A and B are shown apart, each in its own frame.
Chain A
């Protein structure tokens, strides 16, 4: 059985590599992920240690991407910031996925009133503009990383719920679900062993796409001063600090923005590639 799983995994990576967009996305995401993971081995500088003598140094040999107003190495702050930005985005995506898939499966499987309530909530939340709502959120809960993750999760699960609901509605009519019900299996077993494994493909693809939205949302909220607070390095706070140095330190906003763009493109390409792998029909 382990060999079978290895075979499936190697087939999956072959498909991932064969598809141009998923290969590019995978390389970009892997590159950013490895930089974040091995940040202390890549750079000798500390992300938050100030050195005013080196203030606003342009990109060069000593500081690859230059320094900010406080003389902190921008490259170091970007790769350490990746830890915060990716960490928050991944965690918020994880929570959104759990919430969305849970609600989607319940709505799709039980239908009737459960479906109606879930769809009303989804449509209601989709109608809310995220940023003004977060202002209220921040007012109530303060501007902490916890509030940020909570907000990002609570307002991003709807698409995943819709996908899970639609997939569950399709899967629940298959004979193997009827056979499982006839065997008297518990609903938990049917959900975990019979439904989720058969709808997981499109969910993974959508969750990957959601990560890029989360990265942008985290950057936007931190840029506005509501998310991660200075001096902690995150991509949003780097952009925020670069804003006041657009003339004398253009590289701060430029490289801070470029890394967000690269990562978002990476996750989008990867998600799109995964979507094609899991749903071959959608290729056309």
Chain B
């Protein structure tokens, strides 16, 4: 943690508003993210915790440029990603890879695992083969898994494939959006171990979005607590789990059985 001053990602006054057609002529709006600012430093895992629907995923979608924010700026390596043109964006976005909650839905159902991984690697065929073998070993999958389709694999295996595919792009930032929420408890433990391995051995920074305190405790360095579209506080992991946060953080901990 010696180079914490180097910022990878800086989000400034982010605001995401969704229009809501409520029927008739009235047009209402939902403020999903309201004036959120934070930065993610080199070799850091930054966690965002909050209840479902509080706006966590909207932050991730804005950083990934799948949602156009209504206001604010997002800097990645000191460049404002909102100002990229489409060609620049296509190249630059490979550096930020998402892993979603719905692992099997994140893989093309009409493609084998081999094809999904091959698409993620921009190299010639022989290099692709070598890299795929390395990735499979890394995430703990067998070579025979390559010939399967996503529906033939379990949720945990699909999540490993998703992680392998994300790593294949050699990202600098990994955005994990509820990466274990859809998995059963025993599989969750294995995926968390794999994520710890990625955090410790790869030069990758992680933005972890979750409502699962267990994964947060294992992975996060700093934690932002989010409520109704706003960050109520940003704490270190130790402060958060030692009840040094505000009322909402403490109630979250109590709800999950922490004392």
Inter-chain contact A179/B112, CB cutoff 8 Å: no
Could you list 19 examples of A-B contacts with CB < 8 Å? A1-B112, A4-B112, A174-B105, A176-B107, A178-B66, A178-B98, A178-B100, A179-B162, A180-B119, A182-B98, A182-B169, A184-B90, A184-B169, A185-B119, A186-B90, A189-B119, A193-B108, A193-B115, A198-B109
Docked Cα-Cα span, A280 to B96, in Å, equals: 38
Please report the number of residue pairs spanning A and B whose Cβ atoms sit closer than 8 angstroms. Answer: 63
Are B64 and A1 in contact, with the CB atoms below 8 A? Answer: no
Interface residues of B (CB under 8 A from A): 64, 66, 90-91, 93-94, 96-98, 100, 102, 105-112, 115, 119-120, 122, 147, 149, 162, 165, 169
Is the pair A181, B93 in contact by a Cβ cutoff of 8 Å? yes
Task: Give every chain B residue within 8 A of A185 (Cβ-Cβ).
Answer: 119
Residues of A contacting B147 in the complex (Cβ-Cβ under 8 angstroms): 1, 4
Looking at chain A's contact residues, the main secondary structure is helix
CB closest residue in chain A, given B106:
A175
Q: Is A194 an interface residue (CB 8 A)?
A: yes
CB distance from A209 to the nearest CB of B (A): 23
Q: Which residues of B are found within 8 Å of A194, using beta-carbon distances? A: 108
Q: Who on chain A is nearest to B66 by CB?
A: A178
Whether the pair A183, B119 counts as a contact (CB closer than 8 A) is yes
CB of A60 closer than 8 Å to a CB of B: no
User: Across chains A and B, which 6 residue pairs bring their CB atoms closest together, nearest first?
Assistant: A197-B110, A175-B106, A184-B94, A175-B100, A176-B108, A175-B105
CB distance from A6 to the nearest CB of B (A): 14
Q: Which residue of A lies closest to B97 (CB)?
A: A182
**Separation of A1 and B93 alpha carbons in the complex (Å):** 31
A182 and B102 contacting across the interface, CB-CB below 8 Å: no
A-to-B contact residues, CB < 8 Å? 1, 4, 174-176, 178-186, 189, 193-194, 197-198
> Which single member of B64, B105, B115 contacts A182 (CB below 8 Å)?
B64
CB neighbours (8 Å) of A186 from chain B are 90
Q: Do A184 and B105 have beta carbons less than 8 Å apart?
A: no
Given that A184-B90, A193-B108 are known contacts, is A179 also in contact with B165, CB under 8 Å in the complex? yes
Q: Which residue of B lies closest to A179 (CB)?
A: B106
Distance in angstroms between the alpha carbons of A180 and B90 in the assembled complex: 11
Residue of chain A at shortest CB distance from B107: A176
> Which residue of B97, B106, B119 is within 8 Å of A193 (Cβ)?
B119
A198 to chain B: closest residue by CB = B110
A193 in contact with B111 (CB, 8 Å): yes
Residues of chain A contacted by B110 (CB below 8 angstroms) = 197-198
Compute how far the CA of A184 lies from the CA of B119 in the bound complex, rounded to whole angstroms. 10
Q: Which residue of A lies closest to B94 (CB)?
A: A184
Q: How far is the CA of A1 from the CA of B146 in the complex (A)?
A: 10
Q: Name the distance in Å between B61's Cβ and chain A's nearest Cβ.
A: 9
When chains A and B are docked, how far (Å) is the Cα of A263 from the Cα of B101?
A: 49
**Docked complex Cα distance between A107 and B26 (Å):** 27
Report the separation of the CA atoms of residues A179 and B167 in the bound assembly, to the nearest whole angstrom: 12
Interchain nearest-CB distance for A110 vs B (Å): 12
| Residue of B94, B102, B106, B147 ringed by the most chain A CB atoms within 10 A | B106
Please tell me if the beta carbons of A184 and B100 are within 8 angstroms of each other in the complex: no
Which of chain A's residues have a CB closer than 8 A to the CB of B162? 179
- Give the nearest-CB partner of B162 in chain A: A179
Give the interface centre of B108, B147, B169 by most chain A CB atoms within 10 Å. B108
**Of A176, A178, A186, A197, which is in contact with the most chain B CB atoms at under 10 Å from its CB?**
A176
Say whether A182 contacts B100, CB under 8 Å: no
